[in-house]
């Protein structure tokens, strides 16, 4: 998996303002994270890609209404896959590890199914639109046919049930 740059402005990607903020915050809270609402037009702390992309600092995820849902989930999942001692040290960039990145991508798709109004199918389409690239050509193909190592990584760490 690799990332290119974000799509052109105006791409039809589901944003946090399109779903119930409380549902997203509750999902992250179940994993020991806090979703912090940033006011419209304000800088997003800890954003790796820049606004409107989500930011992370320790156990906090920062986002605005115009932050893509896939971005919020991706950054949250970076924190979820880390052991607590590493999570506490995170500011903006969570990992240099390919296995952790793959696990993050897999987990964000799984967690999207738990968000009303989102779902895994929509999230995978948004990931493709944003610029995630996989050798099989799409997020869905990777998830269904080439992500066994990511699934196993998450299962071994108790983040997914076998």
Asked whether residue 161 is assigned to any structural domain, the reply reads no
Q: Is residue 3 one of the residues assigned to a domain? A: no
Enclosing domain of residue 129: 12-156
Tokens of 89: 């040290």
Q: Using CA atoms, how far apart are residues 14 and 147, in angstroms rounded to an integer?
A: 24
Q: pLDDT for 82-106, tens place per residue?
A: 988 899 999 999 877 899 999 999 9
pLDDT reported for residue 146: 95
Q: Is 81 a member of any domain?
A: yes
DSSP 148-161: HHHHHHHHHTTSS-
Establish if 7 belongs to a structural domain: no
How many domains in the chain? 1
Q: What is the mean pLDDT of residues 138-151?
A: 96
Per-residue pLDDT at 1? 44
Residue 1 covered by a domain: no
């Amino acid at each position: 998996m690799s990332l290119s740059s974000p799509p052109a402005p105006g791409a039809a990607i589901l944003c946090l303002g399109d779903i119930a903020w409380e549902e997203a915050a509750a999902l992250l809270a179940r994993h020991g994270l806090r979703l912090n609402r940033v006011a419209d037009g304000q800088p997003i702390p800890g954003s790796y890609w820049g606004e409107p992309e989500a930011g992370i600092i320790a156990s906090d995820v920062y986002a605005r209404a115009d932050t893509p849902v896939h971005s919020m989930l991706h950054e949250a999942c970076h924190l979820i896959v880390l052991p607590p001692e590493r999570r506490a040290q995170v500011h903006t960039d969570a990992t240099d590890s390919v296995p952790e990145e793959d696990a993050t991508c897999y987990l964000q798709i799984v967690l999207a199914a738990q968000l009303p109004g989102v779902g895994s199918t929509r999230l995978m389409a948004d990931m493709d639109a944003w610029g995630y690239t996989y050798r099989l050509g799409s997020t869905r193909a990777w998830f269904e046919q080439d992500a066994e190592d990511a699934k196993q990584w998450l299962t071994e760490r108790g983040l997914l049930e076998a």
